[in-house]
């Protein structure tokens, strides 16, 4: 019980720091964006409170819920996107953190309704193939449990396209913006940084060469597996 309390405090600290990293990285403005972390063993999700300015946010403001998103502590209202996070945690069992932003370049592709092709090794280092864009949500989906349905359509996209969420740790929601995830809140934020960067690069790449194609599969393989999996050799062991 006591150790559970400490675990939650540590999660709050990590989630707080990761949320602050969003405006620091230039990924969000005003009160936009949110980061959460899950601990399935402890049955706990910690997420940013809704609509609180980053400059006033405190560690103790982080909101604690169970694995269905039900509040476990009195306190602030959770991010309105909580239900989306919950759905992602249920479907993608290996991920421990989720990030949502309206970062400019990723939003542009989401608004354009296009997946981001793997045009180079910067993309391949983090995303093993194109970053998918969901279909548009229907009237029924938006009118009922909107944030829950947003999670569902992301999961549907990965299932239909047979994409491994660990190999492609991010998605564009049609007309809306990006979600990314990872093993830790920090890693999930880094994936948001990379997604926005490759989104910008991809757009201008098409301006510089309107006949550009994706990099070959063997180069995608090389760069992704240089950094990921048991044969990775990037970084300090």
Restricting to residues 198-217, which ones interact with a second copy according to CB under 8 A? 200-209, 212, 215-216
> Is residue 111 close enough to count as binding a second copy by CB under 8 A?
yes
Strands (DSSP E) found in the chain: 34-39, 44-47, 63-65, 97-100, 170-173, 177-182
For tokens 């953190």, the residue is: 97
> What are the structure tokens assigned to 121, written together?
């090794």
For tokens 């989720």, the residue is: 98
Whole-angstrom distance, CA of residue 141 vs CA of residue 59:
34
Whole-angstrom distance, CA of residue 126 vs CA of residue 116:
13
Whole-angstrom distance, CA of residue 149 vs CA of residue 127:
24
> Is residue 235 close enough to count as binding a second copy by CB under 8 A?
yes
Give me the least distance between CB of 132 and a second copy, in Å please.
Answer: 15
**With CB under 8 A, what is the number of residues at the site for a second copy?**
61
Residues 6+ apart with CB under 8 A from 108: 199, 203
**Residue 13 or 50 with smaller CB distance to a second copy:** 50
b/e map 191-200, b = 16+ CB within 10 Å: bbbbbbbbbb
Sketch the per residue contact string, 6 through 45, with a second copy: x for CB under 8 A, - otherwise: -----------------------xxxx-------------
> Is residue 109 close enough to count as binding a second copy by CB under 8 A?
yes
> Is residue 168 close enough to count as binding a second copy by CB under 8 A?
no
Q: Are 61 and 55 in contact (CB under 8 A)?
A: no
Listed ranges 14-22, 33-41, 154-162, 219-227: which one lies at the site for a second copy (CB under 8 A): 219-227
**Residue 2 or 211 with smaller CB distance to a second copy:** 211
Q: Which of 107, 132, 135, 181 binds a second copy (CB under 8 A)?
A: 107
Listed ranges 4-12, 39-47, 158-166, 186-194: which one lies at the site for a second copy (CB under 8 A): 186-194
Q: Which of 21, 35, 44, 76 binds a second copy (CB under 8 A)?
A: 76
Residues 6+ apart with CB under 8 A from 128: 164, 167, 168, 220, 224, 228
Give me the least distance between CB of 23 and a second copy, in Å please.
Answer: 12
Binding region for a second copy (CB under 8 A): 29-32, 49-52, 76-77, 80, 102, 104-105, 107-114, 119-122, 136-137, 139, 142-143, 146, 175-177, 190, 193-194, 197, 200-209, 212, 215-216, 218-219, 222, 226, 233-237
């Amino acid at each position: 019980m006591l150790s559970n309390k400490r675990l939650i405090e540590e999660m709050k600290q990590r989630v707080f720091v990761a949320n602050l990293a969003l405006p620091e990285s230039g990924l969000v403005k005003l009160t936009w964006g949110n980061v959460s972390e899950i601990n399935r063993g402890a049955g706990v999700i910690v997420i940013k409170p809704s609509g609180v300015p980053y400059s006033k946010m405190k560690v103790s403001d982080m909101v604690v819920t169970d694995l269905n998103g039900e509040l476990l502590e009195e306190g602030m209202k959770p991010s309105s996107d909580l239900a989306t996070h919950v759905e992602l945690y249920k479907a993608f069992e290996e991920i421990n953190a989720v990030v949502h932003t309206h970062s400019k370049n990723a939003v542009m592709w989401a608004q354009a309704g296009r997946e981001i092709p793997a045009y180079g090794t910067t993309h391949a280092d983090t995303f093993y193939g194109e970053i998918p864009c969901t279909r548009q949500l229907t009237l029924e989906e938006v009118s009922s449990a909107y944030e829950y349905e947003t999670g569902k359509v992301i999961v549907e996209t990965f299932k239909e396209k047979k994409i491994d969420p660990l190999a492609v740790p991010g998605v564009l929601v049609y007309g809306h913006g990006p979600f990314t995830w990872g093993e830790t809140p920090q890693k999930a934020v880094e994936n948001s940084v990379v997604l926005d960067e490759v989104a910008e690069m991809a757009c201008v790449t098409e301006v510089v060469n309107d006949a550009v194609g994706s990099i070959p599969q063997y180069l995608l393989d090389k760069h992704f597996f240089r950094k990921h999996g048991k044969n990775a050799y990037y970084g300090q062991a």
